[in-house]
Amino acid sequence: MLMTTLINPKKIKGGEFLISETNAQDIFIPEEWGEEQNMIAQSCIDFLNTEVFQNLDEIDSMKDKDLMPGLLRKTGLLGLLGSAVPEKYGGFGMDFNTNLLIAESFGGGHSFVVSFLAHNGIGTLPILFFGTEEQKQKYLPGLVSGDLLSAYCLTEPDAGSDANASKTKAVLAEDGQHYIMNGQKMWITNAGFADVFIVFAKIENDKYLTAFIVEKEFGGITMNEEEKKLGIKGSSTRQIFFNDCHIPVENQLGDREQGFKIALNILNIGRIKLGAATTGGAKLSLNKSIKYANERKQFGVTIGTFGAIKHKLAEMAVGIYASESALYRTGQNIEETGLAYISEGEEHAMAKMKSIEEFAIECAIQKVHSSEILDFAVDESVQIHGGLGFSADGPVERGFRDARINRIFEGTNEINRLVTIDMLLKRAMKGQLDLLTPAMGVQKELTSVPDFGTNGSNSIFNMEKKVMANLKKIGLMVAGAAVQKLMANLKDEQEILMNLADMLIEGYVAESTLLRVEKLVTLKGEDNCKNQIDIAKIYLYNAVDKINNAAKEAIFAFAEGDELKMMMLGLKRFTKIEPFNLKEARRRVADHLLKDNKYSF
């Protein structure tokens, strides 16, 4: 069993990164993977190479209806379907970051990874976290082995982002032993072959959803034909109709009207796992681009020698490295907080659920950032491959199409941006996060003499940490002013909220990257981390520009007069950064990639 054990596990607050400084030694970095985790990752990659990549056309054609479920059952034989499930139910009880590593390692698997995550994550975890002991004993062993395959049924034609608008109903039968369900669900991954469905419906005239475990064998279930999609063509996606489907009352999952809470918590896990998978997909896309840049010749030389190509390769690598840094920082925070709850006497499943809920902000950040890095990577990969990139016979066209869904999956990126700020402000109003004190401190600083010194730390990133602290001040300054000016109307100003979210996302990822490299330097020495130092600096410079632009848009949208002038002066002060030759840094990163002929950070 792989399980993180800590003598004094730390329980920190989600969103706290905005108002506190994190010690680099307290985060987990991928360079610390152990031999067992590396073996697990390699087994996933080997599975893709032998079972998936050789059959991509067949998978996408969906002519063989047994192909995808057969692949899932094979991962069950390898123990990968039960990575998050405790041993008592047939799983391996792996720690949170190892589960993220599995998702990342399968991330380049096109339609396969979609089906895998739908089963392994949102199709299994609701039972693990919210099921009764009887439900766990009945269903988890089969879900772990692959004898049972699962699907998650939440979305309806009129209930997408607004899940509580569900019209699916469950009515208690006269015998009192069954619920009779009627309704429709759509965009259901794995629907065509699932044996078990996690279904959300309203009981009678309830205001809120309740969750149910529904077996295909219960009857009363029909489906439309497979959806024709832009990408992930090999994943089963169908509409499901429940027509007087009789569900035993003991198959109610969790408490009545707790379904929305279950859905939100499971979506938090789905979001960060999707972040892991898209990071893996981006790495595959970059690797194909590096190899092609080393092989393709124009004007008598390989195209990898051209500055424009080096720029693309380096920017892809920088985004991937940064996203990966934030991913495993969050994963370790979730793991440690869950262990802290357990040490306080909390039941295991509830401790895990509470820790994931605590870091819902970071899970949403990860989903948005990683999916957009993947989109950037596959787009640049097509560009680097030129005409071959646009050809369906080429190596990257499928990846371009398959990537697009990830900005819609698990809540659209727009919804995820909005919920990050909504959750942050709600926690502040409840007193869970003290945003007011540091925000007031920033307001006072705006009228004081600027401090041009360093932050006094011994880090190799003294200047960069000063910049990072200032970027947090920008977020506090703009968010504080927007709340004060717009108050209750802020919730309707979605453009401003998304500006604030972009600032929060870029700040978190930039800081995570600096912390990762700072810790790496302590492990390997500065001379052995020159490329990683370049990556951290490149990302920070890019983040300063993005945060500056987002802040200006937000400020211009609500401030005026003296307030506008003061905030713009503050923005100018807080975005100061020393000159750095980005071109040469990118070239050094690209040269390292081309030399290794792969992403090797």
What pLDDT digit, counting tens, does each position of 158-213 carry? 876 776 788 999 999 999 999 999 999 999 999 999 999 999 999 999 999 999 99
Report residue 5's pLDDT band, with 50, 70 and 90 as the boundaries.
Answer: very low
CA–CA separation, 468 vs 473, rounded Å? 9
> Does position 117 have pLDDT exceeding 70, yes or no?
yes
**Alpha carbon distances (Å) from 529 to 45, 461, 523, 543:** 26, 13, 10, 21
Give the span between the Cα atoms of 101 and 126, in whole angstroms.
21
Q: How far apart are CA 336 and CA 594, in angstroms?
A: 37
Sign (positive/negative) of CA torsion 343, 346, 352, 358? negative
The single residue of 16, 358, 410, 511 carrying the catalytic annotation is: 410
SS (H, E, C) 217-281: HHCCEEECCCCCCCCCCCCCEEEEEEEEEEEEHHHEECCCCCHHHHHHHHHHHHHHHHHHHHHHH
**Taking a C-beta distance cutoff of 8 angstroms, is the pair 220, 244 a contact?**
yes
Q: How confident is the model at residue 11 (pLDDT cuts 50, 70, 90)?
A: confident
pLDDT class for 451, splitting at 50, 70, 90?
low
> What type of residue sits at position 47?
F
Dist. CA 15–CA 379, nearest whole Å: 31
CA-to-CA distance for 341 and 356, rounded, in angstroms?
A: 11
Q: Contact, 296 vs 122, CB < 8 A? A: no
1-432 to CATH, choices 1.20.140.10, 1.10.10.10, 1.20.120.530, 3.40.50.720: 1.20.140.10
pLDDT digits (tens, 9 = 90+) for 420-436: 999 999 999 999 999 99
Token reading at 118 = 């739908």
Q: Is the pLDDT of residue 250 over 80?
A: yes
Both structure tokens of 206: 């309830």
Beta carbons within 10 angstroms of residue 275's beta carbon:
33
| Cα(242)–Cα(249) distance, integer angstroms | 16
**pLDDT given at position 376:** 98
What is the rounded CA–CA span in Å between residue 190 and residue 70?
12
In this model, does residue 454 exceed pLDDT 90?
A: no
Model confidence at 134: pLDDT above 60 = yes
Instruction: Check whether 242 has a pLDDT greater than 90.
Output: yes
Does pLDDT of 338 surpass 70?
A: yes
| Confidence label for 3 from pLDDT (cuts 50, 70 and 90) | very low
- 1-432 against 435-596: fold identical: yes
Three-class SS state of 215 = strand
* Among 329, 339, 331, residue whose Cα is nearest residue 6: 339
The sign one gets for the Cα dihedral 303, 305, 309, 313 is: positive
The confidence band for 574, taking pLDDT boundaries of 50, 70 and 90, is: very high
Whether 150 has a pLDDT exceeding 60, the answer reads yes
The pLDDT score that the predictor gives to residue 306 is 98
Q: Domain locations in the chain?
A: 1-432, 435-596
Classify domain 435-596 by CATH architecture: Up-down Bundle (1.20)
pLDDT for 238 equals 98
- Give the integer Cα–Cα distance in Å for 373 and 279: 8
Residue 23 above 80 pLDDT?
yes
Q: What is the three-state SS of 333-356?
A: HHHHHHHHHHHCCCCHHHHHHHHH
What is the band of 301 on the pLDDT scale with cuts at 50, 70, 90? Answer: very high
Q: Which residue has the tokens 């994963």?
A: 331
207 DSSP 8-state letter: S
pTM, full prediction: 0.95
CB 589 within 8 A of CB 317: yes
Residues 265, 129 contacting (CB under 8 angstroms): yes
Distances from the Cα of 77 to the Cαs of 73, 95, 122, 191, in angstroms?
A: 6, 20, 20, 22
pLDDT digit string, tens, across residues 376-393:
999 999 999 999 999 999
Residue 378: per-residue pLDDT: 98
Residue 4 has pLDDT above 50, yes or no: no
| Predicted confidence (pLDDT) at residue 285 exceeds the cutoff of 90 | yes
Cα separation, 332 vs 352, whole angstroms: 12
Please, are residues 134 and 252 in contact by the beta-carbon 8 Å criterion?
no
Query: Is 372 one of the catalytic residues?
Result: no
CA-CA distances (angstroms) from residue 511 to 167, 360, 438, 458? Answer: 43, 18, 18, 16
The C-alpha atoms of residue 493 and residue 164 are separated, in whole angstroms, by 22
